[in-house]
Amino acid sequence: MEEASTSASGGRAFPRARSGLYYRFTQQNLPAWKPAMTSGCLIAMFLIIGVAFVPFGLVCLHASNHVAEIIHRYDVDCIPNGYKGNKQAYIKDSSISKNCTQEVKVLNHMKAPIYVYYELENFYQNHRRYVKSRSDKQLRYGEYTGTSCSPVEWDNGHPIVPCGLIAWSLFNDTYSFTCGSKEIKVNRKNISWKSDREHKFGKDVYPSNFQNGSLIGGGKLDPAVPLSEQEDLIVWMRTAALPKFRKLYGVIEEDLQVEETITILITNNYNTYGFGGKKSIVLSTTTWLGGKNDFLGYAYLVTGSLSIFMSILFALIHVKNPRPPGDPNCLSWNRKNSSS
Amino acid sequence: MPDKDIRRFDANIRLFPPFIDNDICPLTINNTLLQSCYLRNTEWACGVAVYTGNETKLGMSSGVPEPKLTAMDAMIDKLTGAIFLFQLTVVVVLGSAGNVWKDTEAHKQWYVKYDYDEPWYQILVIPLRFELLCSIMIPISIKVSLDFVKSLYAKFIDWDEEMYDLENNTPAHAANTAISEDLGQVEYILTDKTGTLTENKMIFRKCCVGDTFYGNECGDALRDVELLNAIANGSPHVIKFLTVMTLCNTVIPIKSPSGSILYKAQSQDEDALVNAAANLHMVLVSKNGNNAEIHFNRRMIQYEILDILEFTSDRKRMSVVVLDCQSGKIILLSKGADEAILPCAYSGRQTKTFLDAVDKYAQLGLRTLCFGWRELESEEYTEWSRSFKEANSALNDREWKVAEVCEKLEHSLEILGVSAIEDRLQGGVPETIEILRQSGINFWMLTGDKQSTAIQIALLCNLISSEPKGQLLYINGRTEDEVARSLERVLRTMRITSSEPKELAFVVDGWALEIILTHYTEAFTELAVLSKTALCCRVTPSQKAQLVKLLKSCDYRTLAIGDGGNDVRMIQQADIGVGISGREGLQAARAADYSIGKFRFLKRLILVHGRYSYNRTAFLSQYSFYKSLLICFIQILFSFLSGIAGTSLFNSVSLMAYNVFYTSIPVLTTILDKDLSEKTVMQNPEILLYCQAGRLLNPSTFAGWFGRSLYHAIVIFLITIHAYANEKSEMEELSMVALSGSIWLQAFVVTLEMNSFTFVQLLAIWGNCIAFYVINFFISSIPSSGMYTIMFRLCRQPSYWISLVLISGVGMGPVLALKYFRYTYRPSAINILQKAERSRGPMYTLVNLESQLRSDKGNMMVPISTTPVKNKSSVYEPLLSDSPMASRRPLASSSFDIFQPTHSRTSHPRNIKAN
């Protein structure tokens, strides 16, 4: 009875082919590379990392230092003296002229193209409620379904185009630059991503019912211009990941000389006073590494030097306290045996 | 009523006219065909379906098996619980922080346009968002990955050629695919003796007929000239002895077409006896119904078998009543254990010779059977026959009634002699036990055999050492008090000597064990914890199971190994059940989680498969937590910069792909990872301690992984937000930089934690990195996706690559340094062996070298028979001299002293040991 019933494990042909990768795999016997972590190997590794990182950090730093940058914060300076105590009243009162003139000095020679950014600080474009409040479909095709734009969706039953908090809070300060009496031209074309203009914002989608509500957020849009050409909006809609961010305003396509004084005429429309946000205007050149950012350079320098330090430390320990590789006598049970 | 005992079926049948013989006929299990049986050696069978469906024996006994959970799974569950608590804490803390921030700050942020008069439940929104963000903290993929690797572990066991039993053509088989890791964590092995340690291949070796010992000189009675002469001369004793050997059994002879006779026996002992008798010219030619035909010295003798008084484990003997067709005499032939047969001798007969013989044979590790004979008066038989039939037809307590009736007949026997059957030790058993004991596994031998045989076998297979290295303590006694005192004494000795480097073992027999298990469980538990080795003799299947349960209750991981039906309960009870698909059928193998062909494969099963499985799962599970925590920590850190509103840095596609794809595939190749070669593990079995003690997966190693994920998250996050600050801080770009950083780091982490790299691993780890870019390029080329053009844009930026190299350097540098420092200056035993292994050969250890070494090792395992090992000359003495026989005369033939009153040796067909 027992012999008669089927074998528990099932018959398998044996022996099978005793070669081939599959066979080796079944026997857990694939050729394997077993790297050994030797002291020399590791010290060399840290040393190489260090030797590679430090010069590279210097290169990065050099690139970053090469960038000429002017940052000018204007949100406080642009408030007329009478409103210093009540900034909100000033910014909300549309009857007061928001024009404001600031002067900055060029400290280093700036080669064209010079990028003009506005910088906002303490502005949470990454807030969940904010970042979700948009409709990509509407921006592209003009239709809006769903509720993703809440709470800025409808104006008395008419759909708002573009809807959502991001569009509603469009940044609307404007800048113009003069150097002496000569006006510096700022190119405001092509400041957004080409891919956005072509594939994310519709050519035949026009703003409608925008900023019609009782509560006006940010800037207005020209209803005659399709969204794909509303470059300020397109730039703004690329939400920033951090509460301090810069967005491109335009490009100055002429060099700025050292010691030149540039007058910036600002229309200070955008309300950052309610939440203590900072507004700055930034003029910056660029290099292969991007704008001025010392972080990568310093990080590489520090990592590289620490790495060299570690390799020296390990080398010292190794020299003072050499360990023969793999002495089975060190095994606890072997030690026990020899002592007993 | 249907029941699940496949060894019993009590019923009657009465055939009504036109059948003439309409008596009540008893029906037993012998008349029953069980479900899914094959008919052999017959053209047809006539039957009635008695039970069907779930009422069949099979249906009744297929209970819902308790799902086995490995210790590792339990630990993973515990860690999951801890992570869940951590997740809740994060949700509560960040949720309330988010609500506070919302009330104080967010209301000022006009662009977020919060309503001042929200419904109350809005307070739950932020915590729930964090719950969503953190939901990936507990990796769902871990279950899938674990199931996958576990099934592969099982496959590896099935595939393993070194556990392929060439003799019986059976591969090892893992029936339970979920518990391979537990194999590496075994602390106690409870093993059966017969068929497990021994081959269960019985060979008739010696016998004692009348007053003469045969087979002493040459060790084989079949070639003993004296015996052959006695047969030729027709010595009546010897002929009677042979007749019992031939007839007193349930063997069925089958004539093969070539004319030779094959015997089909249910028990190996009977098989051995009948074959031996055939070799001694007493050939059982055929058995047709009740007629048995015997050839003896060219003469034909006919017998009619009248009744069979079957063997039960209580009776420990069986008898056959036959009618000699020539002389018309009715003869009772009995065979059985010495203590079951010798008391039945007719009064006045000296049984001392036989007692001595039994003693002597038992010391050699032979199985003994005593044979008896009595001529019956025909009146006596007729009378008895009626009551026997009556008892056999009883529907209640049939077994007991039959036994009672049998007792009436089996008395005043003429004791013919004693047979000694050798059950050879399986090949490689002592080495296997040695290695497994070295690896810190405690062995308990549970056997139905008698004490002295058990001790002999235990000595032979390295289970216990003789004095002065080892010491054997006895727990015995017939009454509760005696047992209690004995137990107390053993316990005291055990406590005192536990500090000494002495191998202590205790022996307990079934009777004492029964008392202990009912009354002194606590003391016995303490003893069990103290004692590394134990021999339990004369235990029933249910006692075996009880012992397993006891050890399990002390939180030990137990492995039970056995081959017969009597081990099934123990196998099912244990954490891991291993069945040997041997001669006693496949009952045990089928009930077990693993079935192997030979005991010696257990070594490989535990040390190689168990250990690797444990190591691999330890890495896999902790890594799964690591990668989930990593992404979660990044999200949490990001929430501090996004107004604690629960913004997700990563888009949903990336998150999903991260868990399911990017981080799952590379780590799965851990199934090919080997920290040490099989050879090194076999040479240093102590290394198993790391698995047993759970050193590779416990809260403290987990804390290391937790810390690593936190550190890596901080590194990725800080570098990303600083490198991608100001004009670059675009949401999608920044999120992809952070994600790429995580992918790079995890590739390095997997690389660092792997010990050996086959091309599969290299392909999976680095191919995964490439796949990450391919997939993201693909997504980036879909205009409607949120990530449109992002990846192309990033890959063109030098700062992207610079940031990633920095993340890798800063992330891995300290981890590498720490690992190196540990590896070199605070090495674990595994590290030392790794170093030893790697410094020995070239860096590229080729496998053929390994397999070559392995085959060398295979040669070492020369099968060892049970004949006493000559070099073990130390005298084996008990510490406690409570045994009156402690100082018995040393036997010349054996180098071991015997310390216990050795009664005799029972062995009986099938070893059924009914519970």
DSSP states of A282-328: EEE--BTTBSS--HHHHHHHHHHHHHHHHHHHHHHHHHHS---S--G
Percent of chain B with pLDDT over 70: 86
Its ipTM equals: 0.91
Question: Contact A291/B38, CB-based, under 8 Å?
Answer: no
Tokens of B266: 């249910």
pLDDT at B721: 93
Section A183-208 average pLDDT: 90
B262 three-state secondary structure: strand
B309, B324 contact by CB (below 8 A): no
Question: Contact B647/A126, CB-based, under 8 Å?
Answer: yes
Instruction: Specify whether B192 is catalytic.
Output: yes
Question: Contact A330/B161, CB-based, under 8 Å?
Answer: no
Report for A91-100, A200-209, B399-408, B484-493: range of highest mean pLDDT: A200-209
B chain contacts of residue A63, beta-carbon cutoff 8 Å: none
pLDDT at B60: 62
pLDDT at B380: 87
Chains A, B: CB contacts within 8 A come to 302
pLDDT at A335: 54
Q: How far apart are CA A236 and CA A249, in angstroms?
A: 10
Chain A (82-111) residues lying within 8 Å, Cβ to Cβ, of chain B: none
A3/chain B closest Cα distance in angstroms:
7
Long-range Cβ contacts of B224-232 (<8 Å, 24+ apart):
B227/B280, B228/B280, B231/B280, B231/B281, B231/B297, B232/B297
Assess whether pLDDT exceeds 60 at residue B408. Answer: yes
B10, B395 contact by CB (below 8 A): yes
Section B878-891 average pLDDT: 33
Q: Which residue has the higher pLDDT, B195 or B611?
A: B611
Assess whether pLDDT exceeds 70 at residue B665. Answer: yes
Q: How far apart are CA B70 and CA B73, in angstroms?
A: 5
Q: Does A332 reach chain B within 8 Å, measured CB to CB?
A: yes
Tokens of A137: 């479909």
Q: Where are the alpha helices (DSSP H) in B520-599?
A: 521-530, 541-553, 568-573, 587-591
Section B394-419 average pLDDT: 83
Residue type, B882: D
Section B304-320 average pLDDT: 81
A257/chain B closest Cα distance in angstroms:
24
B chain contacts of residue A275, beta-carbon cutoff 8 Å: 105, 108-110
pLDDT at B308: 85
Q: How far apart are CA B45 and CA A138, in angstroms?
A: 81
pTM of the predicted protein model: 0.79
Q: How far apart are CA A297 and CA B545, in angstroms?
A: 69
Helices and strands (DSSP H and E) totals, chain B:
33, 22
pLDDT at B65: 57
Give φ, ψ of B840 to 5 degrees: -70, -50
Chain B (37-76) residues lying within 8 Å, Cβ to Cβ, of chain A: 37-38, 40
- In sequence order, the β-bridge partners of residue A265 are A101, A176
Q: Which residue has the higher pLDDT, B844 or B401?
A: B401
Burial B319-338 (b: 16+ CB within 10 A, else e): bbbbbeeeeeebbbbbbbbb
Q: Does A62 reach chain B within 8 Å, measured CB to CB?
A: no
pLDDT at B719: 94
pLDDT at B843: 35
Assess whether pLDDT exceeds 70 at residue B901. Answer: no
pLDDT at B508: 87
Question: Contact B643/A152, CB-based, under 8 Å?
Answer: no
Residue B220 CB burial class (10 angstroms; 0-12, 13-18, ≥19): middle
Section B889-894 average pLDDT: 34
* Contacts of residue B64, Cβ cutoff 8 Å, sequence gap at least 6: none
* Contacts of residue B504, Cβ cutoff 8 Å, sequence gap at least 6: B470, B471, B473, B493, B494, B497, B498, B530, B531, B532, B533
Question: Contact B723/A295, CB-based, under 8 Å?
Answer: yes
B chain contacts of residue A36, beta-carbon cutoff 8 Å: 834-835, 838-839, 843
Judged by phi (left if over 0) then psi (alpha if -120 to 50, else beta), residue B302 lies in: beta
B734, B724 contact by CB (below 8 A): yes
In 3-state terms, chain B is what percent helix, strand and coil (to 5)?
50, 15, 35
Q: What integer best gives the mean pLDDT of chain A?
A: 84
Report for B533-537, B608-612, B837-841: range of highest mean pLDDT: B608-612
> Could you check whether the bond before residue A322 is cis, i.e. omega within 30 degrees of 0?
no
* Contacts of residue A18, Cβ cutoff 8 Å, sequence gap at least 6: none
B252/chain A closest Cα distance in angstroms:
14
Assess whether pLDDT exceeds 70 at residue B36. Answer: no
Question: Contact B725/A126, CB-based, under 8 Å?
Answer: no
Flag the least confident range among B316-330, B389-403, B642-656. B389-403
Q: How far apart are CA B905 and CA B365, in angstroms?
A: 9
B585 pLDDT tier (thresholds 50, 70, 90):
low
- Relative to beta strand B558-562, strand B188-191 is parallel
Q: Residue A80: how many CB atoms within 10 A of its CB?
A: 11
Assess whether pLDDT exceeds 60 at residue A306. Answer: yes
pLDDT at A17: 58
B886 pLDDT tier (thresholds 50, 70, 90):
very low
B610, B181 contact by CB (below 8 A): yes
B149, B671 contact by CB (below 8 A): yes
Tokens of B195: 């068929």
A chain contacts of residue B833, beta-carbon cutoff 8 Å: 326, 328, 331
Q: Which residue has the higher pLDDT, B890 or A109?
A: A109
Q: Write out pLDDT tens, residues B144-201.
A: 899 999 999 999 999 888 888 888 888 888 888 888 888 888 999 999 887 788 877 7
Q: How far is CA B618 from CA B73, B143, B254, B523, B743, in A?
A: 10, 13, 55, 35, 21
Minimal Cβ distance to A326: which of B643, B798, B836:
B836
Q: Residue A85: how many CB atoms within 10 A of its CB?
A: 9
B578, B595 contact by CB (below 8 A): yes
Report for B515-529, B607-621, B851-865: range of highest mean pLDDT: B607-621
B612 pLDDT tier (thresholds 50, 70, 90):
very high
pLDDT at A338: 42
Between vectors from CA A45 to CA A41 and to CA A48, what angle results, nearest 5°? 135
pLDDT at B848: 37
B467 pLDDT tier (thresholds 50, 70, 90):
low
Section B692-697 average pLDDT: 86
Section B91-119 average pLDDT: 86
Question: Contact A299/B722, CB-based, under 8 Å?
Answer: yes
Assess whether pLDDT exceeds 70 at residue B550. Answer: yes
Give φ, ψ of B523 to 5 degrees: -60, -40
Q: Which residue has the higher pLDDT, B849 or B396?
A: B396
Report for B171-175, B307-311, B773-777: range of highest mean pLDDT: B773-777
Q: Which residue has the higher pLDDT, B613 or A7?
A: B613
- Relative to beta strand B252-255, strand B261-264 is antiparallel
Report for B54-63, B148-157, B557-566: range of highest mean pLDDT: B148-157
Q: Does B651 reach chain A within 8 Å, measured CB to CB?
A: no
pLDDT at B869: 33
Q: What integer best gives the mean pLDDT of chain B?
A: 80
Q: How far apart are CA B390 and CA B226, in angstroms?
A: 46
Assess whether pLDDT exceeds 60 at residue B214. Answer: yes
Minimal Cβ distance to A275: which of B108, B581, B797:
B108
How many residues in total does chain A contain? 340
Section B619-643 average pLDDT: 92
pLDDT at A48: 94
Q: How far apart are CA B247 and CA B257, in angstroms?
A: 24
Max Cα–Cα distance, chain A, nearest Å: 111
pLDDT at B346: 78
Q: Which residue has the higher pLDDT, A106 or B262?
A: A106
B chain contacts of residue A328, beta-carbon cutoff 8 Å: 684, 832-833, 836
Minimal Cβ distance to B799: which of A168, A290, A310:
A290
Q: How far apart are CA A110 and CA A283, in angstroms?
A: 9
Question: Contact A245/B726, CB-based, under 8 Å?
Answer: yes
Residue B237 half-sphere exposure toward CB, CA atoms < 13 A: 16
Q: How far is CA A110 from CA A115, A189, A246, A258, B77, in A?
A: 10, 21, 19, 8, 62
Question: Contact A303/B809, CB-based, under 8 Å?
Answer: yes
Question: In terms of Cα–Cα distance, which of B649, B641, B651, B103 is closest to A245?
Answer: B641
Q: How far apart are CA B902 and CA B52, in angstroms?
A: 49
Tokens of B482: 């005696």
Report for B98-102, B457-461, B587-591, B900-904: range of highest mean pLDDT: B98-102
* Contacts of residue B798, Cβ cutoff 8 Å, sequence gap at least 6: A288, A289
Q: How far apart are CA B110 and CA B99, in angstroms?
A: 17
